[in-house]
Chains A and B, each alone.
Chain A
Amino acid sequence: MSTKTETPVKKKNQKKIQCFWSWVIGSVILRLIIIYFPKNLNLSSRPEVSTPLTSIRRLAEGYWLKQSSMSPYAGSMYHGSPLLLTLLGPLTVKRIEGQPDHLLCSLVFVIADVVTAMLICAAGKKLQAAYSSSLQSIGLHHLSEDSDILPSGDFAALLYLWNPFTIVACVGLSTSAIENLMVVVTLYGACARLAPLAAFGWVMATHLSLYPAILIIPVILLFGYGPDAPPRKLFRQRTNLEVDDSASGDRSCLEDELVNEKRMLNVFSWRPVVLFLFWALLWSSYVLVLCGIYVQQHSGLQEMFKSTYGFILTIQDLSPNIGVFWYFFAEVFDFFRSFFLIVFHGNILLMILPLALRLNHRPCFLAFVYIVLSSMLKSYPSVGDSALYLGLLGLFAYELKDMQFSFFLFSGYVGVSLLSPVMHNLWIWRGTGNANFYFATAIGYACLQIILVVESVSAMLNHDRMITKLTTAKLQNVKS
């Protein structure tokens, strides 16, 4: 969202990197400054930042319960993972004299943010290299030069770091920073074809917030087909052509390209996928064993599942947040409740298959779309989720350069994110408004997200069409 993230486009590489690092350090300093005013800002109690799943206060409560040898899930306060308790719990009780409370926790979140940004940057570089080589292999050299100009990895990383949503979620001590880190670890691992890392990220992300489970489809596609590329039929046309021409053309310079193309053309490669699934199984059993050990004194894993996944799926906490579920389920009749639970959660599942079919040549973009959808339709959304997908949006800066309504979306996001706290204040503190005021902004926010996802997908498809048109024109030229 921050317009400051614009990196200089036409600069020498070295200068660019220098600039990049100074921006990264600047964002860290900004976070540290804001951390020193926690009392004044009081962000950790905002409904936009801390949901029942991500609130640090609830985590501290869970840790306290555990320390006094009770189940951390007693009393419906904590609904996160036991592993987070062991990681962050000791930090919540540790106070340094003269320093703000939860200083250590906030440092952990700052580190998590920076690591996430670095991983986004690395994944972006890998994606970009793969994309420009695949553009070259279908013969669109000038496009591949164009795509090199904008360093989308750096751009996305800075977009993530300087996004006010990320900053607010980080300073507001929301554990969504760690969930985001795990999602990005998954994507990076899949882009770098590191099956154990990707499996670890996916298992942890699913364990922490359940919704990233649907990312298994893009990850499998990534392992199977390789990173984002133009539609696959273009390669087939191209190779057909080249097989025809191979006798006349000089083989030596095409040798290298052909090897590359074979990788592209390779239909689904099963080996890395199986490896990934194996590692996923391994990691998930490991995580389950660890959790089992942690909660074994208190009615075991069953309670854990009930109060983490069960809590997410049955939407027990109806306190207001920026999503649309709380209002609906506060109004709905009890005997319709389970029906609507199925309908609402089915919404996400319904869109998985068509999107996977249409975008299977762009698995990373597919993952982005899934993340937007799940952060829009999840039961307890927070601004941390938006921070993730807005950061990932930067990865596709080149492909989405012709996206429509970008200005409208920007103004909409600014307006809604300012209006929503005011409406909340009007309703809760002043008492002059009511729940409809706040819910109206939540609907506006959901609409913006819908527009964003629709426009980005259509821009991506237009980009594909453009590439198809260019290659066919080229092929016609070659043939004639």
Chain B
Amino acid sequence: MPGSANSMLSTQHVSHANKFINDLTHSDIESHKTVAQYMSALDAEVTYHKFYPQLNQFHPLHFFTSSDSGIISKNISCSSLGINVAGIIRAPRGDGKEAIVLVTPYNPKKVGPGEALSLGIAYSVFSLLSRVTWLAKDVIWLVADSQYGEYSAVSAWLREYQAPVFHEAEIVNSETCNDSIAISELGQNPYSDRNSYGGFRRAGTMAAALVIKVDEQGNHHEDSLNIYPEASNGQMPNLDLINIVNYLGVHKTGFRIKVKKMFSLLGSRWLNTLGGIFESLGQIARSLNPQWKFGISATEYVEGAATLASSMYSQGLGVPTGSHGAFRDYQVDAITLKISPKDSPTKMIRRNDFILRGGRLIEGVIRSINNLLEKFHQSFFLYLLSSSSKYVSVGVYMIPFALLVAPLPIVAASLHADASKSTLQSTYSSEVEVSHKSWKWLNSARKVLVIHLWGAVVSLLPYFLYQIPNSTPTTNFTVWGILSAFSLIILYFILGSPIFEAAPSQPEKGEWASLKSVTISTAFIGLSLMSVINFATAEIGALLIVPICLMARPLKLDAQARSWRALLRATCNLALGFIAFPPVAYFLVKGAFEDFNGTNVGDYWNWVESLWTWNSATYLYVGIVHLPCWALCIHILFHPC
């Protein structure tokens, strides 16, 4: 049971941590040396890890490969070298095969008060752990150099830890950089000569990792703890890790645990109304039978919905919400704990108390992980958070998605059957033609394939646009749009040329139906594939693309029909076709949750850029599945049947 042991963190540890913070913020020597000195004073093994910041770049072929390719641009000077400090405590009871990682990102050039406080909390826990007897897993404290972004620092250290590349190490340790001097200086230091090591030190397999941060701003009602679990491509850490933190936070240390939520939803009127309806329904049900307890209060409902929406959005984006994301690539469960103090860290009166509470929470979590015999149970990776203590599991959220996409194959099959039936009649009427009735779909399949190829080309274009120097997002976006349209026209001409046209060129009657059936089946395949890779993207994408896919019907037919139903359908089609265009969808969503003020087309480029720099599968989904399906639907709408 987590938290059943008494906390051992005492005020003595806290006062040490206080001294550490003061030294860190006020001393003249470089801060990583201070950290190393303090670490080695605790009998920890201290190592420096030097790395070049790795620029996130779009590598179109790296989506499907292992992330072992450390690409470092050549002309990086020594000054841009980052230095991580890692301290390892060897467990007295362990065999050194497992480890728990604590990460505190900080900027050595300018240590902010919040960062200093987070380092202090980690130090207090670390100093406790170096003395305790119950430790069965090694503890690694990584002080990550965040001057080039905390994610790149953590991922560089992890890469070195998990998949070292030997020829690169020589580059980093080359004598041209004067960092070897720094190490020799450290060697002369009386504090650290025992425990400082030149090479990279490792502990065992990582069981879990915690990234600790303290918010720079205060002004909160009470001390609260924000949990950031999302890693790249919507991967989540094991739910038990969040449960432990939540349990200890609520029951032991009295933090208010928060998960990110969409604040714009909290004030929305329709959601509140819906919540009110659910509440009254629950009350009615309870009045009928006191055993029925499914009603929830309106505020709870609205809060849950806002959290769920935010959870889905950050999973669907596929961009990690913090440096914990780097751990998930190596199958290590990790979360970021961002502690927001009541007062601002600079003018905090009861700093010791704050460190004590934060430290006790971390200690409890580490102790719980330490006592695990095996890994967390494997099945709790697929979930959406609706509050820090509630979640929607995969078995529940798959049902609406399955219902949403289930019509696609059915409609595709019925359209396909109709199309082949109609061609059957036409071929029997004219026996001269070779009947290929069951292969008629090949024509449509070729079109769909070409459009999907176009989608792939469009998604690769930014890679080349990125090479253009000094361009603003707006121009980039415009050039991208123009090039995409241009490539579509080229493909259209190739497609329309007689080389490709096997069948007689005049469009047949049922041609749009067969085209639609192939389009729908590709949309179905794409959505099912995406639901496995990143569920949230698939869900949001399905909401956008499924209606237009199902409704699409040539406008000409609707116009000829001249009934209210047909006109309504045509308008719906046009509206849906407008909404499903990716940039439009982006701006509508942005407008709905934020406001339209100050948005320009460059924002879309920036958003897309953030997706591809993080190698998010969402980008590929939008480029290769969503955009071609949308284009095909528009093609069907304007089909000259």
Binding site for B on A (CB under 8 A): 3-4, 6, 8-9, 19, 37, 39-42, 146, 149-150, 401-404, 406-408, 410-411, 414-415, 418-419, 421-423, 426, 429-432, 434
Contacts and interface: CB of A to CB of B under 8 A. Distances in A.
B528 A419 contact: yes
From A39, A404, A429, A432, name the one whose CB has the most chain B CB atoms within 10 angstroms: A432
Given A37-B61, A430-B235, A434-B378, A146 B434 contact: yes
A422 B65 contact: no
B66 A4 contact: no
A42 B532 contact: no
Top 4 A-B pairs, shortest CB-CB distance: A40-B61, A432-B381, A431-B331, A3-B446
Nearest to B514: A407
A149 B435 CA distance: 12
B240 to A, nearest CB: 14
B536 to A, nearest CB: 14
Given A415-B528, A431-B331, A41 B65 contact: yes
Interface stretch (B269-277, B344-352, B437-445, B595-603): B437-445
B508 to A, nearest CB: 16
B502 A406 contact: no
B525 A3 contact: no
A3 B434 contact: no
A61 B546 CA distance: 50
A52 B68 CA distance: 25
Q: Among the interface residues B413, B416, B532, which one has the most CB atoms of the partner chain A within 10 A? A: B532
Nearest to A408: B413
B476 interface: no
A434 B394 CA distance: 15
Contact of B439 (A146, A401, A415): A401
A39 B416 CA distance: 41
A402 B435 contact: yes
Contact of A406 (B331, B434, B441): B441
B416 A6 contact: no
Nearest to A423: B532
Given A42-B66, A402-B435, A415-B525, 11 more contacts: A8-B502, A41-B61, A42-B65, A401-B436, A402-B437, A402-B438, A403-B439, A418-B525, A426-B532, A429-B331, A431-B378
A419 B446 contact: no
Contact of B532 (A9, A37, A419, A434): A419
B613 to A, nearest CB: 18
Interface residues of B, number: 35
B634 interface: no
Contacts of A431: 331, 378, 381
B532 A401 contact: no
A453 B442 CA distance: 20
B296 interface: no
A439 B522 CA distance: 23
Given A418-B529, A422-B533, A430-B235, A410 B445 contact: yes
A414 B526 CA distance: 10
8 contacts: A3-B449, A39-B65, A39-B69, A415-B528, A422-B532, A426-B532, A431-B331, A432-B378
A146 B427 CA distance: 14
A422 B64 CA distance: 9
A430 B64 CA distance: 13
B42 to A, nearest CB: 33
A150 B434 contact: yes
A382 to B, nearest CB: 18
B29 interface: no
Given A41-B61, A415-B525, A407 B441 contact: yes
Contacts of B525: 411, 414-415, 418
Contacts of B62: 40
Interface in B83-119: none
Interface in B47-79: 61-62, 64-66, 69
Interface in B188-236: 235
A6 B528 CA distance: 28
A64 to B, nearest CB: 22
Nearest to B236: A432
Contacts of B518: 407
A77 B92 CA distance: 41
Nearest to A146: B434
A426 B439 CA distance: 35
Given A419-B532, A422-B529, A431-B331, A3 B445 contact: yes
A421 B502 CA distance: 34
B449 A4 contact: yes
Given A406-B439, A418-B529, A8 B61 contact: no
Interface in B514-548: 517-518, 521-522, 525, 528-529, 532-533
B499 interface: yes
B382 interface: yes
Contacts of A421: 64
Contacts of A411: 521-522, 525
A410 B378 CA distance: 35
Contacts of A6: 442, 446, 502
A177 to B, nearest CB: 22
A40 B446 CA distance: 28
A432 B66 contact: no
Nearest to A402: B438
Contact of B235 (A8, A150, A422, A432): A432
A3 to B, nearest CB: 4
A466 to B, nearest CB: 11
B260 to A, nearest CB: 22
B433 to A, nearest CB: 10
Contacts of B517: 407
Contacts of A402: 435, 437-438
